[in-house]
Amino acid sequence: MNNQDQVKVIDKSEEKLTILKEASVTTAKGYHAGGLFCGIKRKRLDLGWLYSEVPAAAAGVYTTNLFQAAPLTVTQESIAVEKKLQGVLINSGNANACTGKQGLADAYEMRHAFAEAMGMKEHYAAVVSTGVIGELLPMEKIKAGISQISEVKDQVTVEEFEKAILTTDTCTKHFGVQLEIDGQQVTIGGAAKGSGMIHPNMATMLSFVTTDANIEQEHLHGALKTVTNKTFNMITVDGDTSTNDMVLVFANGLAGNASLHPEHPEWDVFLLGLEKVCQELAKKIARDGEGATKLIEVQVKGAPSDEAAQAIGKSIVGSSLVKTAVYGTDANWGRIVCAIGYSGQALDPDKVKVSLGPITVVENGLPCVFSEEDAKAYLEEENVFIYVDMNQGEGQASCWGCDLTYEYVRINASYRT
Known catalytic residues are: 204
CA atoms of 162 and 178, how far apart (whole Å)? 20
Letter for the amino acid at 173?
A: K
Strands 16-20 vs 47-62: parallel, antiparallel or unpaired: unpaired
Pairwise CA distance, residues 53 & 191, whole Å:
18
Could you tell me if 45 and 160 are in contact, meaning their C-beta atoms sit under 8 angstroms apart?
A: yes
Class of residue 328 by CB neighbours under 10 A (exposed 0-12, middle 13-18, buried 19+): middle
Query: Which value, to the nearest 10 degrees, does the dihedral of the CA atoms of residues 104, 109, 111, 114 take?
Result: -150
- Rounded to whole angstroms, how far apart are CA atoms 159 and 146? 18
Rounded to whole angstroms, the Cα distance separating 276 from 312 reads 22
Instruction: Report the run of H or E that residue 191 belongs to, with start and end.
Output: strand 184-193
Which stretches of 304-376 are assigned E, i.e. beta strand? 353-356, 359-363, 366-367
- 161/191 Cα distance (integer angstroms): 9
> For the chain, how long is the longest CA-to-CA vector?
68
Question: Which DSSP letter does residue 41 get?
Answer: S
Cα 105 from Cα 317, distance rounded (Å): 39
First to last CA, the chain: 41
Q: How far apart are CA 209 and CA 322, in angstroms?
A: 32
Instruction: List Cα–Cα distances, 248 to 58, 185, 191, 296, 325, in angstroms.
Output: 7, 22, 10, 26, 35
